[in-house]
Structure 1
Amino acid sequence: MILQDLDCRQFYNVGLTEAERVVEQIQLDASKNSVERNRLGQFATPNSLAIEILKYSKTLLPASEGIHFLDPAIGTGSFYSALLRLFPSEQIESAVGYEIDQDYAEVAIKLWAKTLLKLHIADFTEIPPPEHEVLRSNLLICNPPYVRHHHLSKEKKIALKRLGIKNTGVELSGLAGLYCYFLLAAHSWMAQNGLACWIIPSEFMDVNYGKKLKKYLLEQVTLLRVHQFAPDDLQFGDALVSTSVIWFRNTKLDCNYLVDFTYGGTITYPICSSKISSKTLKELSKWNYTSISLLQKNDIQAETKLYDLFEIKRGVATGANDFFILTLEQIDNLHIPFEFLTPILPSPRYLLDDEILSDEQGNPRLERKLFLLTCRQPMEWLQVKYPSVWSYLQQGERIGISDRYLCRHRSLWYLQETRDPAMILCPYMGRRKSRNNKPFRFILNHSKAVAPNVYLMMYPKPQLKNLLLNNPELIKPVWNALNSIPIQSLIHEGRVYGDGLHKLEPRELANAPADFLLKALEDYSHRT
């Protein structure tokens, strides 16, 4: 009797059921021809995408809030499966799904029979919404049917248009696809302040029939984020359509607010990120990546730049890294005194963390410890005082190091250019497929190590320098703000090569916007 009272979900193996669901999904898709699937818009959400969407959605919900889940086009339950995997069972208080296709619905009913999912075989757009607030959803996730307008009958279009007007006051164009009507139909199913996430074609951001939908997103709800996948990154292998994912909250804001626009990569690790004001979006005819990028590019020209706050220089160019940059083992073997050595950072690829800690001597706490050899004394003096150093430099002359371009243009071929350690560094080149899908990153350096010329060294100008000297704890907000600069802003300022390698010269980085940094400084001043 006690066992019967226990929540059956705690005995439910989501992983095994998900594996079974994938098999059933493949068999169902194979049983239907492409014409039939196109007519009904049946394009199942891949489990990996469903997981990523629910994972991000979870960050937008209070952990203490009970979940009332709704999927108006549930299919076999990809989103529901992800919900069970990512949310504690005790947090999920109800789950409802609608599916018009009986074949998919019956599979879902069988798969999730031992859970609390209530699945209805019905056309969601023909079901009246709940009358009471407590019955409405605070987490609505949907991949609506991708049915183009010409597959909708005249009678169905009229009914859908009336439904949209009834729920939201928005009258859609006759060219709108079924997914647009689904989104408006679901408005009355959402609880106040409830969260919604929709996977829809990116075309709505650029076409005329999408204007009314964009107006709804900006005026009747609070648009939180729009993520657009790259056109060649097809999320549905059997549907040649560019995909976007949008999140909004069922709260109407009368004030101007910022919307996150991300592009490419994944939801978790997009290639580009921007914050665009709702006021600007209302005036923008297209929301695609190119339009947002151009808008951002123009906006940046009027903003405070990094050059207003930092002097930016390339790291030390030795002219022969293999000769002048030494490991501890080489130093020991060559008997080079440490007075001729300066700690220097390794290449960015050897930095596993973006924060470099320091030991008591000021050396970076890194597994790969390197030191730069430099000397102001002439060879004759070294021969008498430090024969080991003289011997090593003699070797450099024999193998032609002293004849290299940079070396031969120095007063002493082995005297390195002077660089003070910089607390903020930025690798000057990178690829989009690097860690976090960011070609550029900012590194916080607590050590006395200088950087080689694969880094850009950022030195605060007097006003910021004094502020940091008086408030050392401010360096981390500054560092975090730099890493919040939209990656597209940095990409725009730099250049890209055919193999996908992005580069930033000091002057180009200096031209990047500093608004995130100014905001961090302003927030700090308000706190203190």
Structure 2
Amino acid sequence: MRQKRHQSLPRAGSEREALRSKGQFWTPDWVAEFMVTYVLRDQPKQLLDPALGEGVFFRTAKRYAELHRFELSLFGRDVDPDIVAQARQSGLTDADLRHVEIRDFVLDPPSAKFPAIVANPPYIRHHRLSPLQKAILRDFARIATGRNIDGRAGLHVYFLIRALQTLSPGGRLCYIVSADICEGVFADVLWQWITSQYRLDAVITFSAEATPFPGVDTNALVFCIRNERPEERFAWVKCRRPDAEELVALLSGNGRKKYQSIEVHERAVAEALSTGLSRPPSETTPDRYMLGDFATVMRGIVTGDNDFFFMTLSRAKELGIPESLLVKAVGRMRDIDGEEISPADLERLETRGRPTRLLSINDFPFEQLPPTVQAYLKEGEYRGLDKKTLIRTRRPWYRMETRKCPPIMFAYLGRRNTRFIRNHAQVVPLTCLLCVYPRQTDAEFVERLWKVLSHPQTICNLKKVGKSYGGGALKVEPRALERLPLPDELVHSEKLDAFLGLKQGSLDFGET
């Protein structure tokens, strides 16, 4: 069989939605090669793939066993009844597939333990699980770990717990999964349990150029775990090219002094759990200051229906909506070209036909509104807006969230354009941006804080608090952004540290 580098993914439509609902993202052959090398290193008699897919791990394991001349029985699970036919088409025989069962691995696990388990679990996010499914899975996790796993964990989290339970003493598990498994709100509890019960041998991360899943908005990691007494240190690896050779050497125990396509760091488990398993090792002493020392962070406004509430100034005039009921706003990160937005930029957006006004009717009873505005709101009711999920709990339904104009905004989801934006246009952001409110409103303090935030050293620190996604993208939530380390030397050079000793009043930035 010709080896596959990557799965061909539909970009949109029903096929893309079906892919999301099943969570089926096939492992490329070069990744399967080093994963199988790790779990078969001790030449076990059995291997389990609990999410068979098209059978890449079976094919790779067959080749490995033949090359190293030992007998290996293949066992598999999947919930997709069509999967066995796909596996046959990939080159596997009926003999290879005789121990494959169409059964739910998490909720209907095998009774036997296995010395080698290799898996690419279905990637199904929590919002695609029904309330009943979530309740059952959380009960399972609580019994298995003795801990409560947050309900925002996806199916792949529970899959990992079951895989570890199914591992025989001394057995090896290799598990490829999205980075949110060690970045989500559930991660601390999960990994404290894993690293207290099992030995973490290695974590393999990938640069954007080496990603196993191009075109997927998630960042992949591979975990190598043994059912043995935990150790204090493990190998943290960054793979920079889609090439298995050096990873095979490392994971087979034939490590090298120098590598070309991978970086290998020996890390303390405690440091990695603190820094984040998906993030590079922390090589410096902890920074003394965080953004939260100098500012608070809030998400932007959720309108519930941008098409109705967010409009151009010209459309507002056509509808007869007075400017007193409008708030200047920005709705897309790409509507801000650089690191500042000015009133002139807002005018240019309006000239280009981009919406810049948010309907905000919070202080007037319906009867006191102009007839034109009443008519527009009635049109919204006719369209069923008052029944929409994010709107129906508001009283009245057209009541809008409010935000003070943030002096600084943050573009929190991006690949190469994550940045802090100075807000000279007095706009409020929708959910595309975060609001950063300096604890001092003094104009000079705001400018100095923005200068520190925009510095490349600070931007580089975002990876310490952000969630990683495909293609090198980062997403930083409000509370995480408040934990953003600010380099000591930048804080001192801009004299921001003086702020921490002040309870009130303005700051003296005079030279000494």
Q: TM-score, normalised by structure 2?
A: 0.48
In proportion to residue count, which structure has more helix?
Answer: 1
Larger radius of gyration: 1
